[in-house]
């Protein structure tokens, strides 16, 4: 199977997840193409399946991934597609935060016309060492309020790598069901 992985990232963690996905797909014997949405990725034509990986910042997904999904939504909607939403909310049990995240994802789908076969919510990371002073202060304040980690001397990764490793297998299953 030939898998296209298109990602957008702000501090680089979604890129790390996309790199991991690419390696997992290759371990399973698939061919994988990895593309940054900010560098005008190609059309999904020629690929069997697609993973779109985007992170939420300030209540929205990056504009580059939105542009890509909007431009190619017709081609994407004909393929098995997993939309991978990366956020700190995915590491939380807070119902209000989850409701908001799902609304943000719905808004993205409505704005782009993308209709993925599956949406996977993946926990992101607090990358305090990559934030400027203002963002570090804001993120620390938010995390203090929600009971999260406030140690700004290093980064905190919440990603469940086993969950991410299972995404290529989900794509295999989606591809098989779309063929039937």
Q: Find all residues with CB under 8 Å of 41, minimum gap 6, and list them.
A: 4, 6, 35, 68
Four-point Cα dihedral 80, 86, 89, 91, nearest 10 = 90
176 compared with 3, residue with greater pLDDT: 3
In sequence order, the β-bridge partners of residue 69 are none
Would you state the pLDDT for residue 147? 66
CATH 3.40.50.360 fits 2-124+159-179, yes or no: yes
How far from 109 is each of 13, 43, 49, 154, CA to CA, in Å? 22, 18, 18, 34
pLDDT in tens, 59-68: 899 999 999 9
CA dist 87 and 126 (Å) reads: 10
Contact criterion met (CB below 8 Å) for 4 and 50: yes
E strand intervals along 25-133:
31-36, 49-57, 60-61, 81-87, 118-123, 125-126
Would you state the pLDDT for residue 93? 82
- Report the predicted TM-score, pTM, of the whole model to 2 decimal places: 0.90
pLDDT in tens, 93-147: 889 889 999 999 999 999 999 999 999 999 888 776 887 787 767 766 776 666 6
pLDDT in tens, 66-78: 999 999 999 999 9
How far from 107 is each of 26, 37, 87, 112, 115, CA to CA, in Å? 32, 19, 16, 9, 12
Would you state the pLDDT for residue 180? 60
Domain boundaries of the chain, sorted by first residue: 2-124+159-179, 128-156
């Amino acid at each position: 199977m030939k898998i296209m992985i298109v990602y957008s990232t702000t501090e680089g963690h979604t890129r790390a997840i996309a790199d991991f996905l690419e390696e997992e797909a290759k371990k399973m014997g698939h061919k994988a193409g990895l593309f940054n949405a900010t560098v005008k990725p190609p059309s999904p034509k020629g690929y069997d399946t697609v993973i779109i990986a985007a992170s939420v910042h300030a209540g929205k997904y990056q504009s580059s991934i939105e542009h890509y999904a909007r431009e190619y939504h017709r081609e994407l909607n004909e393929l098995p597609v997993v939309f991978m939403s990366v956020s700190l909310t995915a590491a939380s049990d807070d119902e209000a935060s989850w409701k908001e995240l799902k609304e943000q994802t719905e808004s993205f789908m409505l704005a782009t016309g993308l209709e993925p076969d599956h949406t996977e919510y993946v926990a992101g990371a607090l990358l305090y060492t990559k934030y400027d002073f203002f963002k570090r202060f804001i993120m620390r304040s938010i995390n203090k309020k929600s009971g999260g980690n406030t140690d700004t001397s290093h980064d905190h990764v919440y990603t469940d790598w086993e969950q991410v490793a299972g995404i290529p297998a989900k794509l295999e299953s989606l591809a098989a069901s779309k063929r039937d």
